[in-house]
Amino acid sequence: MFKVRKIAGIFVLVALLAAYMRSSESTKRYVKHLLKQVPYLPYRYFI
Amino acid sequence: MHDYDAVVIGAGLGGLSAAAILAKNGLKTLVCENTERVGGCCSSFEEGGYTFDIGASIVELAWVIDELFEKLGKKTSDYIDFIPIDPIYGFMTADGKRFSYPVDKDATRDVIAKFSREDAEAWDKFSKQGSEAINFAFGKVMTKPMMTFTDSLKLSLENPKLMKYLKYMVLNFESTLCSFFSSDKVRASMSLQSYFIGLPPALCPGYIAFLAYSEHEGIFYPRGGMIEIPKGIARVFEEYGGEISFKTRVDKVLVENGKAIGVKLSDGREIRSRIVVSNINAKTLYLEKIGRENLPGWAVKAIESYEVSIPAPMIMLGLDTAPELDAHHTFCYTTLDEMNRVWFEDYLSKKIPSRGFMLISWPTHADPSLAPEGHHCLNLVTFAPYELSEGDWDSIKEQYLEMQLDSMEKMFGLKLKDHITTAKVSTPKDFEKALLHPRGAVYGLQNDIVATAFFRPRMRSRAVKNLYLTGASTHFGGGVAPTIGSGIAASGLILEDL
């Protein structure tokens, strides 16, 4: 079961990465801008 | 012993709206205002016989104001005289061409058809989705608290139609517009709205693109200047026994055992209250007025993590003649790429944008009484960084004025210099000092999707009990209607809690 999950996880990551690589410069900037803030979301959720 | 049931910090639209509802419900309420006038960013001042607006220059989604007055048991028209504005925007292009978008959707379609037949058809689709998004989605969320994931989920389950707009939370503004329109001219003519929440089209969330439609539901200017909106709300507040104390600076929010118990003023006085409502920027509130020492570590991390929006230095001009413009708002036409470039190359490098990128507001077009007879007022809303790579704002005020006027004359043929009777420049530093906006960010905290809804500072603070937030720092964000909406939503929570 763990192995299946691991493979599925890797597949999703590869798919996301591929989608990112194929996206426009504008989308890449947007994604980077949002990802930069992701580590703070748990704190933001509670403030 | 409490002096008041509620003390509100700041007489901006959110604070006044909440205060008026609380007063109507019998709560003894005091509003402490740092300046000598109401309204915060939605205000006006008089100089040399001209009435200039400080920030906000138009009202859209006016139903939110009607909802407020209804809650107050009053009629909006008894307090504010709104003048309908048409056309919505005039555009000045660098090749000397002018065009404008009227309020009427079909007439706008005809204007778009001159650029692209395909985009004229796309406008119909955009309008249809825009109408749903504005009237349904915005209508459902703007005046309701959105503090938890459960709040959002509940709202989505009750209104499954909202799910349709989720993709515009994921797409950016630019991609959303490009998914509808193919002509660069049409795309650019609907892109400035991203800067209304202080972000370029590449970083702004997609749902904001529908603001370009919302204006076609009707835009208005209050007779007497933008200050007439907060003045109208303040009148109702005072009719219900509320008190406003001007030139009253709150230095600290008093916190005891994790609870807000009142405020300390700059003259040393302490006012005790059952609850405290903040209408100031959340960063200023938490980091300065409450202080790190009164906050848990996670709260400090959270509040420090928010970025503020791009400052919008304003140039106010008194003219001895009517300017050669066609509409209340004129956009000095800038392409979508250029709008992004301004952010990524100029703003982030602390440089003043080298070309005229601005919105011109002409309030005397709607209300001639704002200037002496035959004279006019113009507000030039520009975008520039808070810190400059060369010089500082105080020393470049004159230079900045000259630069913007030259740019308008050279690029768009708009000659104003010979007709100026009075001129004033409000820099990011001025906004910071007068309105307590950190880094002069008049649009408040950046409003991207990771700082929206339940990721935006909550209306009912979790870090400090008995503390409530209204205004641009909390849900739904900046703007006349959203901040009034925040006042409605926050007052609802307070009445539930007390």
Segment B130-151 shows an average pLDDT of 83
Query: Which residue in the set A33, A38, A47 is minimally distant from B303, CB to CB?
Result: A47
Each residue's pLDDT tens digit, B168-225:
888 999 999 999 999 999 999 999 889 888 899 999 999 899 989 999 999 999 999 9
Q: Report whether pLDDT(B354) > 80.
A: no
Pick the residue from chain B with its C-alpha nearest to A31.
Answer: B203
Q: What's the CA angle centered on B97, arms B95 and B100, to 5 degrees?
A: 140
Task: Determine whether the interchain pair B456/A46 forms a contact, defined as Cβ–Cβ distance below 8 Å.
Answer: no
Judged by DSSP in three states, B162 sits in: helix
Show the tokens assigned to B464. 């400090």
Q: How far off is chain A from B498, nearest CA to CA, in Å?
A: 21
Helix B117-132 vs helix B105-115: angle between axes, to the nearest 10 degrees?
A: 150
- Residue in chain B nearest A38 by alpha carbon: B450
Percentage, residues of chain B above pLDDT 90: 79
Q: Residue A1 — pLDDT band, cuts 50, 70, 90?
A: low
Nearest residue of chain A to residue B341 (CA atoms): A26
Q: In this complex, do A38 and B305 lie within 8 Å of one another by their Cβ atoms?
A: no
Given a cut of 90, whether residue A11 has pLDDT beyond it is no
Residue of A30, A43, A46 lying closest to B305 (CB–CB): A43
How far B258 CA sits from the closest chain A CA (Å)?
A: 14
DSSP symbols for B365-394:
HH-GGGSSTT-EEEEEEE---SS-SSS-HH
Residue listed under structure tokens 């006016």:
B62
Average pLDDT over residues B355-382: 94
- A24 contact residues in B (CB cutoff 8 A): 175
Among candidates B469, B468, B481, which has minimal Cα distance to B68? B481
Segment A20-41 shows an average pLDDT of 88
Pick among A26, A27, A29 to test the B interface (most B CBs inside 10 A) = A26
Confidence bin at B430 (pLDDT 50/70/90):
very high
**Is B442's pLDDT higher than 70?**
yes
pLDDT at B5 over 80: yes
| Tens digit of each residue's pLDDT (9 = 90 or more) over B218-264 | 999 999 999 999 999 999 999 999 999 999 999 999 999 999 999 99
Q: Which of residues 5-44 of A touch B (CB under 8 A)?
A: 24, 26-27, 29-30, 33-34, 37-38, 40-41, 43-44
Residue A20 has pLDDT above 80, yes or no: no
Tell me if chain A has a CB within 8 Å of the CB of B462: yes
ipTM reported for the complex, 2 dp: 0.89
Whether A5 has a pLDDT exceeding 80, the answer reads no
Name the burial class of residue B150, with classes exposed (0-12), middle (13-18) and buried (19+) by CB atoms within 10 angstroms of its CB.
exposed
Residue B467 has pLDDT above 80, yes or no: yes
The confidence score (pLDDT) of residue B495 equals 98
- Mean pLDDT over the full length of chain A: 85
Residue appearing with tokens 């939503």: B489
**Is it the case that residue B135 has pLDDT exceeding 90?**
no
For residue B172, give the nearest of A30, A37, A47 by CB distance: A30
Across-strand partners of B6?
Answer: B29, B275
Which chain A residue lies closest to B283 (C-alpha atoms)?
Answer: A47
* Residue A35: closest C-alpha in chain B: B450
B87-110 pLDDT tens trace: 999 998 877 789 999 999 999 999
The average confidence (pLDDT) of chain B is 93
Task: Find chain B residues with C-beta within 8 A of A34's C-beta.
Answer: 448-450
Residues in chain B: 498
B473 inside 8 A of chain A by CB:
no
* CA dist list (Å): B228 to B5, B63, B413, B462: 27, 17, 33, 34
**Pairwise CB contact (< 8 Å): A47 & B299:** yes
The confidence score (pLDDT) of residue B38 equals: 98
Q: Which residues of A touch B463 (CB under 8 A)?
A: 46-47
pLDDT digits (tens, 9 = 90+) for B14-46: 999 999 999 999 999 999 999 999 999 999 999
- Cβ of A43 within 8 Å of Cβ of B461? The answer is no
Contact A45 B149 (CB under 8 A): yes
Residues 6+ apart with CB under 8 A from B52: B44, B45, B46, B225, B316, B377, B379, B424
Count of Cβ atoms closer than 10 Å to residue B406 Cβ: 12
Of B202, B449, B461, the CB nearest to A29: B202
B254-275: average pLDDT: 97
Question: CB-CB: which of B174, B286, B455 is closest to A41?
Answer: B455
Contacts of B462 in chain A (CB under 8 A): 46-47
Question: With an 8 Å Cβ cutoff, is B455 touching chain A?
Answer: yes
Q: What is the pLDDT of residue B132?
A: 84
Phi, psi dihedrals of residue B334, rounded to the nearest 5°: -135, 135
B203 touches chain A (CB under 8 A): yes
Collect all residues of chain B within an 8 Å Cβ-Cβ radius of residue A44.
302, 305-306, 450-451, 455-456
